[in-house]
Amino acid sequence: MSRVKQLFWGLSLAVLITSCRGNKDYLVTIHTSYGDMKAVLYDETPQHKANFLKLAESGKYDSTIFHRVMENFMIQGGDINRKKPRDKKEPEYTVPAEFVPRYFHKKGALAAARQPDEVNPDRASSGNQFYIVQGTVYESEEALKVDQEKLGMAIRKLLEDSTQVEVKNRLTELYMEGRKTGNFDAYTAEVQSLVPLVKEKITTDIYTEKTFSPERVEAYTTIGGAPHLDDEYTVFGQVVEGLDVVDKIAAVKTVQTVPAVEVYMTVEVEEVSKKELTKKYGIQYKE
């Protein structure tokens, strides 16, 4: 890390620590035309917290858009170089990964986008882009452990079987219907229903090697989420109010994940007593 970047992080963290010393913390409100989402940021991811607060308080996030939307997965935004109007191109930078096992991709998780492993082996986060998880609800722990990439490959092999024409036609029909409506729920459900057939005809090697704590199993089988992202992208906050707004934005009509109508945001930060955040949202702080 360069001396300039070290200075940047040092100053940011100093501001954060000074501001949060005592009995107050930050509550972030993301305003959109679909409603407001309120989020808290984690102390255990200090560099991401400091970076997000700095961008929000300076107005950098205002007039940015949710530029990538995938229903039953996530909504992504915060790219300050997509602002309209754009005065100048902002310099790109990254934030070192801060993986904390207790924070994972349940519904409402606020996490940092990043470049793929091939060009970013340290999994450093984007300096500005973030996403909020919508995800899906898993029926059981076994369903949770299915590796979706392996399942997809197995289904493609299954559909090469001439005896599975009916299955292929059904999947094609549901997929095309999803493209028309922008809702792939029926298609996704059909794919998951093929697990027993895949295990019988193709392979049983469709399970992830990841292990899931009881807390993660409970969350993913009740409110849902995106478990395949766990421990690979930094989760640095949680939406504590306005999950219905996440659903509304995730449901907008898209053209290849890009909303047909731009969804703008403004981001507000306020200091709130920790006692109030605990009482209202159940946030627990270390003594």
pLDDT at residue number 83: 82
Q: Where in the chain is the domain with CATH 2.40.100.10?
A: 3-139+224-281
Amino acid at 241: E
Q: What is the tens place of the pLDDT at every residue in 87-120? A: 678 889 999 999 999 999 999 999 999 999 999 9
Query: Taking the mean position of all CA atoms in its chain, how far away is CA 222?
Result: 17
Q: Which of 249, 223, 224 has the alpha carbon at shortest distance from 31?
A: 249
| 151 three-state secondary structure | helix
273 contacts: CB under 8 Å, gap ≥ 6: 23, 24
| DSSP at 136 | B
241-276 residues labelled b (16+ CB within 10 A) or e (exposed):
bbbebbebbbbbebeeeebeeebbbebebeebeeee
H helix runs in the chain, sequence order:
3-20, 46-57, 141-144, 148-159, 165-181, 185-193, 195-201, 214-220, 243-250, 274-281
On the question of a cis peptide bond just before residue 214, with omega within 30 degrees of 0, the verdict is no
DSSP designation for 227: G
Distances (CA, A) of 276 to 52, 235, 285: 22, 23, 12
- CA separation (Å) from 1 to 14, 95, 143? 18, 10, 41
pLDDT per residue of the chain (287 residues) written in tens, 0 to 9: 443 344 344 445 544 544 455 799 999 999 999 999 999 999 999 999 999 999 999 999 999 999 999 999 999 999 999 887 666 788 899 999 999 999 999 999 999 999 999 999 999 999 999 999 999 999 999 999 999 889 999 999 999 999 999 999 999 999 898 877 767 778 888 998 999 999 999 999 999 888 899 999 999 999 999 999 999 999 999 999 999 999 999 999 998 899 999 999 999 999 999 999 999 999 988 87
Predicted TM-score (pTM) of the model is 0.85
Report the CATH number of the 3-139+224-281 domain. 2.40.100.10
- Torsion sign across C-alpha atoms 259, 264, 269, 275: negative
Residue-by-residue DSSP string for 67-93: EEEETTTEEEE--GGG-SS--SPPPP-
**CA 66 from centroid of its chain's CA atoms:** 12
Dist. CA 20–CA 24, nearest whole Å: 6
